[in-house]
Each structure stands twice: as C-alpha cells, then as structure tokens.
Chains A and B, each alone.
Chain A
Amino acid sequence: MSDIVLKAEKLTKHYGGVHALEGADFEIRKGECVAIMGDNGAGKSTFVRQITAVERRTSGKVWFDGNYVDFQDPLEAREAGIETVFQNLALADHLNVPDNLFLGRELIKFKLGPFSILDYKAMREATLEGLKKTGVKIPNISNSIQNMSGGQRQCVAIARTATFKSKLIIMDEPTAALGVQETAQVENIVRTLKEHSEPVILISHNMRQVMDLCDRIVVFRRGRIVANLNKTETDGQDVVAYITGAKTQPQFEVEAAA
C-alpha cells in the first residue's frame, strides 16, 4: 500500500445526464508508467480532470500519497505534487524558460505582497537543474520561448513538472501536436523521468509510444474502465480489441454490461 502513489475508487463524473465517467477504479505505484488509452470521448481526459481537480467529481474517492484527498482547485492538486502537462501548451510565449517554469510560483528574495522581489538567480539555477533532470537541451534559457519549436516548448512544459517536487506527472497527449523528431525527444524525457522512478500517467493515442514507454495500459470505453493490462501480457492488437469494444476483461464485465 505504501508505494501506491494515487488510488481512485469508484470515481464518477456526470455532466447533467451525460455519464462521462462511471465507477473508475485506478491505482498507480511509484516508478510506474501507466498509459490511459481509449477512443475520443471514452472518459480519459474526464478522468484526469477529476484527479487534478480541474473539475469536481460527482462521486468516488481519491487517495494521493497515502492520504485521502479532495482538492478544491488545480493549484491545490499541484501543490500536493500532481503536475499536469496539457495537450495545448500552457506557456506564456513572451517569457523565457525560467519564467515559464516558475509561472505562478515564482521564487522570491524579499516578501512584499504583490511587489515581492523575484529571485532570478535561484530560479535560473533551479531551471538548469530541472532541464538536466529531464534531459532537455535548450541553448539559451533566457530567450523568450515564442521562437522555439513546438517540441522545445513541450519539453519546457514537461521540465516544468520535473523542476518541482512532483510526486505524479500526468501527460495529456503530450506529442499530439508534434513532429516525429520532436516526439522522439519528448519520449526520451519520459524515459529519463522513469529512470528517476517518477510515476507517470500518459494519455496517448499512439500505440507504439505506449508500448515503448509504459508498463501498464488502462483502457477506457464509454466512461468505464474495460481493461487493465500489463504490457508484457498484451500486444497492440489486443489493446485495440479492448478499445473498440471487441473485448472486455472479465473483472470489468459486470459493470460494463450494466
């Protein structure tokens, strides 16, 4: 139990009459990379939004880092150690790399309310440290990020999660908008994170990527979890069968039929 980072029990989200997520049981252990797969509208992003408190869950329980949690807003979830990399980049184009990494949680030298003095040096050093940890190469971190490539920007977004004492990193289709080489670079970062035994939840449509990076695959279909597969015991064909509805694992059968 102690190495379980996140545990969700009967997590449910209804939007009015729409049952976007129904009774999802999920857990992820330290050092594990779990993929969440499923068709569009299967409930993947909804699931993430409940965990990160972007939305309030209809019912269900969540434990994080050993404690029962009920985050009020995304900031609270983030402060607890859940870092999210969004599909659309949540970066400020005109700011440079350290500014983006520390956006909203700047280090300060001297506290003075909104006019607190920034500690540029410390932020710069922590940025270099974070980039090192993720293996992100950026020639000049004091350049504003607007002229960087999509891959570099996504890497900055991921490095942001690694710069802080994150306990769980969630990536919502981090390579959906990237080219082949950029995708490879982002995948390398995920590997580096795994080497540091950081738990990662990866939402992806890319079967090769999932098979390359993840240890376990959880399949969502119509708001329910229909399979929980170890990578070693499955293959692409098998996963697709679960995604499309050709197969459902027996332990999820009852609920899916209901």
Chain B
Amino acid sequence: MLRGGLAVAARGETYLSVLVEVTSMAATTHGIGGLTFDPKKRELPPELGVALALVLIVVVFEVLGRLLMGDSFLFNTREGASGFLNTARLEIIILQVSIIGIIAIGVTQVIITGGIDLSSGSIVGATAMIAMSFAQAGDIYGNPNTRAVFIDAGLVDLPLIVPLIVGAVCGIVAGGINGLLIAYTKIPPFIATLGMMVTARGVAKWWTRGQPVSFPTESYAAIGLGLMPVFIFAVIAIIFALALKYTIYGKHTYAIGSNEAAARMSGIKVARHKVLVYTIAGLLAAVAAIVLSAKNLTAQAGMGMMYELDAIAMAVIGGVSLSGGRGSILGTVLGALIFGVIISGFTFLRLDAYYQEMVKGAIIVGAVVLDQWRQRYGASKA
C-alpha cells in the first residue's frame, strides 16, 4: 500500500523528506508545484464493482427465491443430487453466455480502442452457414445426406480442419474489411460495421438461398458438446486477458483508445493496429459461429441475430468504457456472468422472457450512465 520509496526526487534532502512524509501515512503528499496528490487515492479496479454487482444480483435472486419460490437459487436443494451448490444451474448459466462471451472478448478490444463492432452477430450467421456447409456428414442414419450443400462435388465428411479453416477465414476477411475501412477511409466504426452487419447477413442468406445447413460430422459436433463451449470461452478469455495486459498489442490497444493523437505522435502505427484489432474481433465472432453451429447441429441464416448488442452489453456491464481506453477481459467475463445470472434468475423465478428483455435494456443503459459518472467524477477528483 505505502510505496513511499517510489517518491522520486532529484535532490537528496527532499527525497528523504518525501520518503518520511509518505511512510508516516500522511494523508496527502505534496506533488509537483506544491499541489496535493494523494497516492492512496488509487482508483479501485472497475472489475471490483462489477464483481460486487454480480454477487449482489445473485443474493437478490437467492432471497427472492427463498421468499417467493421456497427454493434456493444458488444452493443444491434437489433430493438425491450431491454437492453443496446447484451445479446444474451454474453450468447452464455459464454455458448460455459462453458463446456470446467469445464474441464479447473481441468486441471488448474493439471498444477499448474507442471503436464499436455492430457486425459480429451477422458474421456469426455468415460464418456458421459457410463453415457448416464444409462440415456436413455424407450419411445420416444410413441414408445419404442429399441436402448437403456440396454433395455434388463430393465435399462431405471432410476432415475437421477444413470447416475450421474456412470459418476462420470468413471471420478474418469480414473483420479485416471492417478494420481496413475504419483505419484507411476514416469512416466512423459505427458506419463501417453497420455496413458489414447488413452485408454479412446478406451473405448468410445468399449462401444456401435461405436453406438451413444441418447434419455436421461427429468431429464438428464435438466442438459444441457438453461444456466444450465453456472451455473454449475460458481459454480465449485467458489468452486475450494476458495479451492485453502483457504484450505490446494490449498496450497499444489501450493507448489508441485513450488518446489516439498521442498514440500516433508516439510512433504507434494506429491504422495497422486497428486493422489487427477488428480482424481479431471478426475471428472471435467466427469461433463463436463454429461453436454455436456445432452445439445446435445446424446453421441458419438468422443465426446470431442481435448477438452484437448482447456482446456490447456484456462488455459495457463489465466496465469497458464506450469512450475507449478503459476496460478489461476480466470485466467482460464478469459482465457476461451477470448477463447469465439475470437470464437464469428470471427463469428460476418463472418470470416471462418479456421481462428479461426489459430489464436487460435497463441494465445496459444503467451501465453506460454509471460509466459516464465514473469518468466525470473520476476526472474532477484530482
């Protein structure tokens, strides 16, 4: 807490006095020009607030559950089931947010640069259709799969790597186009990704003229099996949490969102970096598409509709600032969990889905308002 030794001074005598001043738990330290600056007024990590909100929401559902339903939200009350917690519910909570969570990790990085990505839901749709068509089984319960997209070309029962690469390329191309448009034509990210949102949805519908693509190979279906989506979500979250914290990629992502002009003046290749960030967001949307289509065993042109907004909401609830420069993967993961808990809690309380959406909307707006407050008062505190 007291890192008094950090107080640096050029002249020895002031060094000592500063050291004494700080280590003697003085409430304030005199900063430059005699202005007071409190080193202990370290901003709390925003993730802490999000985590508290998550706990609070769980407690609310627990209390409401006990009062209204006579059942526990969090703890195991089932006869014959073992364990202290209601693991079935916890699994469902995490499972249902993990696919959109994967998208949210990409969107988080885009938002940190000060941008926005509205195209991820449509990229999910297009990628699911295209990747799935390369993952179809040639044989369904002994009958040939005559409705497979590439049956005439004999492109069925392909090895798993083919749809994976095709899917990844879809995401990279779509995200790359987003990034190139934003970085080099200087149009607002909102417009560029809105264009991609419409275009990619069009591609999804055009690919099979609206027909769903079903019956994947066993190896493809295994990607969406059981808790596999949660595992993929966790791995991706950890990779990008580390990348944002410990690599140049992360540092430049924050720098661009914080002050793009300063980043450019400091020699950061802003345009190139933006292309990379949007491409990664596209790639992660493609990963989500593969997991989603594998889990559902089918791909439809309307898949992933509105996922972009849910992903943005997860990030925003998780403390990622829409004005850029602030936020973290941990925050977004917590935001995703809040999302999952609310949906699960409403189901648990047997409230209709209508209310879920109404509350979801209110929470998104509330999170942005909170972020605005944090910025205003955070800045004036100094």
Contacts and interface: CB of A to CB of B under 8 A. Distances in A.
Nearest to B327: A94
Contact of B255 (A92, A151, A152): A92
Contacts of A152: 31-33, 35, 37
Given A140-B39, A151-B33, A152-B37, A90 B262 contact: yes
Interface in A135-183: 135-141, 143-144, 146-149, 151-152, 155, 178-179, 181-183
A99 B251 contact: yes
A49 B263 CA distance: 18
Contact-size category for B: 35 or more
Contact of A95 (B33, B34, B248, B254): B254
B8 A131 contact: yes
A151 B382 CA distance: 12
A4 interface: no
Interface string B20-49: 001000000111111101110111000000
Nearest to B32: A185
Given A92-B254, A115-B249, A137-B18, A104 B259 contact: no
Contacts of A144: 43
Contacts of B59: none
A137 B31 contact: yes
A78 B266 CA distance: 9
Contact of B6 (A86, A91, A140, A147): A140
A116 B242 CA distance: 11
B266 A103 contact: yes
Given A131-B8, A134-B10, A139-B7, A95 B37 contact: no
A116 to B, nearest CB: 5
A91 B262 contact: yes
B37 A117 contact: no
B33 A115 contact: no
Contacts of B379: 146-147
Interface in B1-27: 3, 6-11, 14, 18, 22
B361 interface: no
A212 to B, nearest CB: 16
Contact of A182 (B35, B248, B267): B35
Contact of A143 (B32, B42, B247, B266): B42
A114 interface: yes
B235 to A, nearest CB: 16
Nearest to A75: B267
B255 A137 contact: no
A23 B316 CA distance: 55
A115 B244 CA distance: 9
B266 A90 contact: yes
A94 B326 contact: yes
Contacts of B9: 132, 135, 137
Contacts of A146: 378-379, 382
Interface stretch (A40-48, A59-67, A105-113): A105-113
Interface of A: 74-75, 78, 86, 89-95, 99, 103-106, 108, 112, 114-118, 120, 128, 131-141, 143-144, 146-149, 151-152, 155, 178-179, 181-185, 192
Interface of B: 3, 6-11, 14, 18, 22, 29-35, 37-39, 41-43, 243, 246-249, 251-252, 254-255, 257-259, 261-263, 265-268, 273, 276, 325-326, 378-379, 381-382
6 contacts: A94-B254, A132-B9, A139-B29, A139-B38, A152-B33, A181-B34
